[in-house]
Amino acid sequence: MKPITPEIPSQELLILPLKKEPDAVVRVPGSKSLTNRALLIAALADGFSTLTNALFSDDTIYFANALQNLGFCVNLEPQKSCMTVCGQGGRIPSRSARLYVGNAGTAARFLTALLTLAEGEFSLDGDARMRERPIGDLVAALRQLGAQVTGVDGQNPPASLPLKIMAAGLPGGRAEIAGNISSQFLSALLMVAPYAAGPVEIMLTTELASRPYVEITLAMMADFGVQVERRDERSYRLRPARYQARQEVRIEPDATAASYFFAVPAICGGRVHLRHLSRRSSQGDLRFLDLLTRMGCTVAEKDGMIEVSAAAGLQGLDVDMSDIPDTAQTLAALAPFAQSPTRIRGIASARFKETDRVAAACAELRRIGVQVEEHADGLTIQPCAQFQPALIRTYNDHRMAMAFSLIGLRVPGISIENPACVSKTFPDFFRVLEELR
């Protein structure tokens, strides 16, 4: 199955303002983070596991296709949002493969770790932006555990894709790794460590960015029967173990995707209800609801739905978003509508995503007439009384497209460049956005 190309304009899309305050019930697709973690762990487990409400988007399809290219049986049923994986008990069926992951960061990081369990020679590459995104800290940690990972051009150790993996199983041992660039490095190590030949100890050398995503990893591992020993917040120990297949893995709706719709009442008034997602979820990006509450919105959970209602007067925030950087663009998009400035801190790691999201958010806010100051780890956004019509550049970043389209629901003349980039994680985003009308 190829990555998804949505049937929406490829050049630009005009977002029409809402004519009335919304009172809508919306659904968002399954979580990318949960889907790709479940795919990896299910492939390592013994037997068949079925993922329901799985996300079908570019990032998950790249990963599922890579598993198929490695010889795993992965049955994809997009009409049913269902994926079935036949796990091989830690064995990688193929002895060689050339894998391509586009700009899918989770796929790149997870596959790099997974391939060290194999026997044979493998290469891993991505698109131009993925070749710029860092992976050196993960490679260094895997090499400490006995893996042979180099650049395909002989660069040793490599800082980014493409990679060559000369795999002969992962011996194990002790590894130190930085966590301030991406939590995906630690998650990748944790998920494959049970299949190392010996015990694995992982020590963080820095603070951990996006910590809730590691909690998601640990919870998913536990669901498949493997526990991780944690001595403190920077130390993890794993002994050889085997994942057990699960008859059904129900993938929750994506909390990051939900953030765009949670933000709508803050910008446009009215109410939005989101189905099948609970605040008890392990997905850290649900903490975005706490920010909306602090800004003056009302958040309630009832009848299996989360409901967000408009604020009487939207207040700005000074907030550290280091744990939830993927929602920072959502906050940046609604901040100009607040009555006081908003300072977003702690998102230096966002500069290494699909684009430099700090710089991109600042540039596009200025394009529509918002006064904004860029900082090394974030930005300060002033209230805006007079917006300018503009074509919003997306930098081929799905989160830029989704977050800044919200502004067009209230401000006339806002168009989104390259709206098809949302296929990375939410191919139906603009169709769901229309359901607000």
DSSP per residue, 47-68 = EEEEEES---SHHHHHHHHHHH
Distance CA 67, CA 200 (A): 24
Residue 168 has pLDDT above 80, yes or no: yes
Longest dimension (CA), the chain: 62
Answer whether residue 302 shows pLDDT above 70: yes
Helices (H) and strands (E) in the chain — how many of each?
A: 12, 23
Q: Tell me the C-alpha distance between 139 and 187, whole Å.
A: 13
Handedness of CA 353, 77, 111, 69 (dihedral sign): negative
pLDDT at site 6: 74
* 297 phi-psi bin (left φ>0, alpha ψ -120 to 50, beta other): beta
Residues 6+ apart with CB under 8 A from 80: 52
The answer to whether residue 205 scores a pLDDT higher than 70 is yes
Single out the residue of 158, 235, 236 nearest to residue 191, CA to CA. 236
Nearby residues of 271 by Cβ (< 8 Å), 6 or more positions away: 21, 22, 23, 24, 265, 307, 308, 309, 310
Phi, psi of 349 (to 5 degrees): -65, -25
pLDDT tens, residue by residue, 409-434: 999 999 999 999 999 999 999 999 99
User: Which uninterrupted H or E stretch holds 35?
Assistant: helix 32-44
pLDDT at 156 over 90: no
pLDDT for res 417: 97
pLDDT digits (tens, 9 = 90+) for 11-63: 899 999 999 999 999 999 999 999 999 999 999 999 999 999 999 999 999 99
pLDDT at 237: 98
Q: What is the average pLDDT across 7-11?
A: 72
pLDDT of residue 93: 98
Q: How far, in Å, CA of 100 to CA of 107, rounded?
A: 9
Tokens of 138: 């993960």
pLDDT at 359: 98
DSSP letter string over 138-203?
HHHHHHHTT--EEETTS-SS-SSS-EEEEEE----EEEEE--SS-THHHHHHHHHGGGSSS-EEEE
pLDDT at 273: 96
Q: According to the model, what pLDDT value does residue 204 have?
A: 97
> What percent of the chain is modeled with pLDDT above 90?
94
Q: Residue 386 pLDDT more than 80?
A: yes
Instruction: Determine contact, residues 311/334, Cβ cutoff 8 Å.
Output: no
Place 9 in a pLDDT band, splitting at 50, 70 and 90: low
Half-sphere exposure of 366 (CA within 13 A, CB side): 11
In this predicted structure, what is the pLDDT of residue 251?
98
Burial of 251 (0-12, 13-18, 19+ CB in 10 A): buried
The whole-number average pLDDT for the span 235-257 is 98
Residue 125 is among the residues annotated as catalytic for this protein: no
Using CB atoms within 10 Å of the CB of residue 136, give its burial: 0 to 12 exposed, 13 to 18 middle, 19+ buried.
Answer: middle
CB 149 within 8 A of CB 123: no
Domains of the chain: 12-28+253-434 (3.65.10.10), 32-233+243-250 (3.65.10.10)
Tell whether the model's pLDDT for residue 84 goes beyond 90: yes
* Residue 201 reports pLDDT greater than 80: yes
Which one of the listed residues 59, 326, 397, 428 is annotated catalytic?
326
pLDDT by residue (tens digit) across 347-385? 999 999 999 999 999 999 999 999 999 999 999 999 999
**Has residue 97 got a pLDDT over 80?**
yes
Residues 6 or more apart whose Cβ sits within 8 Å of residue 172: 145, 146, 193, 196, 197, 198, 199, 200, 240
Report the alpha-carbon distance of residue 354 to residue 374 in Å, rounded.
Answer: 18
Q: Which pLDDT value is given to residue 355?
A: 97
Predicted pLDDT at 10:
67
pLDDT band at 5 (very low <50, low <70, confident <90, very high): confident
- Chain mean pLDDT for the chain: 96
For residue 314, the Cα-to-chain-centroid distance in whole angstroms is 28
